[in-house]
Each structure stands twice: as structure tokens, then as C-alpha cells.
């Protein structure tokens, strides 16, 4: 497939999808902190591998209730509000880490920032679904995923190069790119749930898995058990995948010393 065919595939989507695509690239370009978290905890803050593992585990445990909370808030106050509020709070928290010395407080703020981003995550996914329809949803999600990959091809490499001598820039740069992507959403992306609902209802489109359900999260899971099985599968997948972000950078740092972060960043960009 040549570039002309690729562009043709993604032609004719909603304007908001292209804005979100650019935002994904910008945000992923500055995703410096999370890939290097294990190294920051062990090499900069001075934790043992066991202590760092506990912190990373805590981060993962906190993400589940944060995402549930984010989903409830997205439905009650709106997708854009949740994205704007919690992306802003996450960015400010990360930027503040750039103005302090490595410490346990920095580690706690990193977890707090991750929680803020986790709360906004369901709102992003819901917004993407709201501004698309049954005909272009798969293509739209494909484009957004490609935007994330484009950014992550470069972001980890930059982070790895900055890690050894310019740690504050990693935090500040990560926060600033989040703010830049957020500005695009504030200016160009509006709530789209009403438009989507009207559009698909006029086409007679009906999907029980996308229809709304009143009640708690547990009620939804009881009515749609496939969601629970899917969540369990994703949990096992991310548990295995997390070793890429924890065990590998520590191993590279032990073997290659000060060049470990650079090599890890290059591997992250290439893979």
C-alpha cells in the first residue's frame, strides 16, 4: 500500500478526528515520564528494585478505580469537561516535578499525575465514539492509533537522551505537550454525543452493546458479561506488557550503565 492509498483511506472523516489525531501525535511525542518511570524511581530517587516495583504496582492498582470514576464523570458532566479538567491537573502535576529534586514526593506526584490521566482516559474513548458513526468508526480509531504510534516512535528516544543530564526537562516537556494537545481540544473539538445519536437513529442502526444502560458499573457487567471477560484478558495482557516498561530498562541500565536509558529509548522508538 502506497502513501496515496493510505491518505485515501483516511479521507472524509470528521474534522474533530483529524484534530484528535494531531493531538495524539503531540501528546505521544512528549510521553517522556511513564516509559522512564522505573529508571527514575531506582536511579534518580534511589529506591530499590522491590520498592520501585511496589510503586509501579500501586500505580496500576489505582488506575482501575480512576478509570471507573472517569467513565461515570464523562457520562454525568460531559467528555470535554473531564478531559480538560483532569488532563490539565495531570500536566500541572508533572510540570511541578520538574522544579523539585528527586524524592519520594516526586514519586507520589508521578502516581497522582497518572491517576489524573487515567480519569480522563474513558472520556477520550467516549468522545472518539461520539463524534464518529458506524460507517467511519473503525477508520477513525485506526487513524488515532496511528497518531499515537507516530508520537511514540520519537518520544521515548528524546526522553532517553534527556534522562541522564536533563531530568527536569523530561517532566516539563511531558506536561507542556499535554497542554498543547489539550489546547487543540478546547478550541476545535466539541461534544458530539447528540449528533452521533441522531445520525445513527435516522439510519436505523442498532447495536445492543452500544445502547445505554442505567445503573451502576456492576449492573452493566451483569447485563454484559463479555465486558468482564474482556477486562480480565486485558488485565493479563498489560501485566505481561508492563515488563517492557519495568524490567527491561532496569536490565539495560545494569548492563550498559549510563547508556542504558538511551538504548531503552531507542528500542522504544523502534519497536
How high is the pLDDT of residue 182?
A: 97
How high is the pLDDT of residue 198?
A: 47
How high is the pLDDT of residue 212?
A: 63
- Examine the pLDDT at 250 and tell me if it is beyond 50: yes
Crossing angle of helices 104-130 and 15-29, rounded to 10°: 160
Crossing angle of helices 193-202 and 104-130, rounded to 10°: 30
How high is the pLDDT of residue 102?
A: 96
- Examine the pLDDT at 197 and tell me if it is beyond 50: no
pLDDT band at 225 (very low <50, low <70, confident <90, very high): confident
What CATH topology corresponds to 14-191+215-270? Growth Hormone; Chain: A; (1.20.1250)
pLDDT digits (tens, 9 = 90+) for 27-60: 999 888 988 999 999 999 999 999 998 888 888 8
* 69-84: burial string, b at 16+ Cβ within 10 Å, e else: bbbebbeeebbbebbb
Please give the radius of gyration of the chain, using alpha carbons only, rounded to the nearest integer: 20
How high is the pLDDT of residue 86?
A: 98
pLDDT band at 202 (very low <50, low <70, confident <90, very high): very low
Locate the domains of the chain by residue range.
Answer: 14-191+215-270
pLDDT digits (tens, 9 = 90+) for 46-97: 999 999 988 888 888 888 899 989 999 999 999 999 999 999 999 999 999 9
Q: Could you tell me the pTM of the whole model?
A: 0.87
Percent of the chain at pLDDT exceeding 70:
89
Amino acid at each position: 500500500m502506497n502513501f496515496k492509498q493510505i491518505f485515501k483511506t483516511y479521507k472524509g472523516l470528521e474534522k474533530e478526528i483529524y484534530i484528535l489525531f494531531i493531538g495524539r501525535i503531540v501528546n505521544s511525542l512528549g510521553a517522556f515520564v511513564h516509559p522512564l518511570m522505573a529508571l527514575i524511581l531506582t536511579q534518580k530517587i534511589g529506591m530499590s528494585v522491590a520498592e520501585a516495583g511496589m510503586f509501579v504496582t500501586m500505580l496500576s492498582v489505582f488506575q482501575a478505580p480512576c478509570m471507573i470514576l472517569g467513565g461515570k464523570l464523562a457520562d454525568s458532566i460531559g467528555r470535554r469537561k473531564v478531559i480538560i479538567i483532569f488532563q490539565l491537573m495531570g500536566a500541572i502535576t508533572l510540570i511541578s516535578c520538574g522544579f523539585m529534586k528527586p524524592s519520594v514526593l516526586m514519586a507520589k506526584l508521578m502516581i497522582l499525575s497518572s491517576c489524573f490521566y487515567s480519569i480522563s482516559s474513558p472520556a477520550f474513548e467516549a468522545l472518539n465514539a461520539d463524534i464518529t458513526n458506524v460507517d467511519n468508526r473503525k477508520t477513525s480509531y485506526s487513524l488515532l492509533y496511528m497518531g499515537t504510534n507516530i508520537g511514540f516512535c520519537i518520544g521515548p528516544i528524546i526522553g532517553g537522551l534527556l534522562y541522564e543530564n536533563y531530568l527536569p526537562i523530561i517532566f516539563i516537556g511531558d506536561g507542556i505537550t499535554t497542554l498543547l494537545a489539550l489546547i487543540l481540544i478546547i478550541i476545535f473539538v466539541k461534544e458530539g454525543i447528540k449528533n452521533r445519536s441522531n445520525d445513527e437513529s435516522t439510519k436505523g442502526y442498532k447495536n445492543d452493546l452500544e445502547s445505554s444502560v442505567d445503573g451502576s458499573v456492576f449492573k452493566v457487567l451483569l447485563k454484559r458479561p463479555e465486558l468482564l471477560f474482556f477486562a480480565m484478558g486485558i488485565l493479563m495482557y498489560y501485566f505481561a506488557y508492563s515488563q517492557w516498561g519495568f524490567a527491561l530498562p532496569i536490565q539495560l541500565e545494569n548492563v550498559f550503565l549510563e547508556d542504558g536509558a538511551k538504548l531503552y529509548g531507542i528500542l522504544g522508538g523502534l519497536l
